Amino acid sequence: MRRLAIYPGTFDPPTLGHLDVIERASALFDNLVVAIGVNKAKSPLLSNDERLEILQNSVLHLKNVKVEAFEGLLVDFAHRHKAKSIVRGLRATADFEYEFQMAMINRRLAEDIDSVFLMTRWDYSYLSSSIVREVALLGGDYHPMVPAAAIPVIEGALAKRRETNQHRDTLVV
Per-residue pLDDT band at 164 (split at 50, 70, 90): confident
Q: Which of 26, 58, 85, 129 is catalytic?
A: 129
Q: What percent of the chain shows pLDDT beyond 70?
A: 94
pLDDT of residue 141: 97
* Number of domains within the chain: 1
pLDDT of residue 40: 73
18, 128 in Cβ contact below 8 A? Answer: no
pLDDT digits 0-9 by tens, 136-158: 999 999 999 999 999 999 999 99
Q: State how far the alpha carbon of 116 is from the alpha carbons of 17, 67, 139, 152, 172, in Å.
A: 16, 19, 36, 32, 50
Whether residue 18 lies in the annotated active site: yes
Does 94 score more than 90 pLDDT?
Answer: no
Domain of 24: which CATH number?
3.40.50.620
Per-residue pLDDT band at 1 (split at 50, 70, 90): low
Whether residue 161 lies in the annotated active site: no
Global pTM?
0.91
* φ, ψ (nearest 5 deg) of residue 21: -65, -40
Whether residue 129 lies in the annotated active site: yes
Does 14 score more than 90 pLDDT?
Answer: yes
pLDDT digits 0-9 by tens, 20-36: 999 999 999 999 999 99
Q: Which domain holds residue 26?
A: 4-172
* Dist CA 145 CA 173 (whole Å): 37
pLDDT of residue 119: 92
pLDDT of residue 166: 65
Q: Hey, what amino acid is at 160?
A: K
pLDDT digits 0-9 by tens, 109-120: 999 999 999 998
Q: What is the mean pLDDT of the chain?
A: 92
Q: Which of 2, 40, 42, 108 is catalytic?
A: 42
Does 172 score more than 60 pLDDT?
Answer: no
Whether residue 81 lies in the annotated active site: no
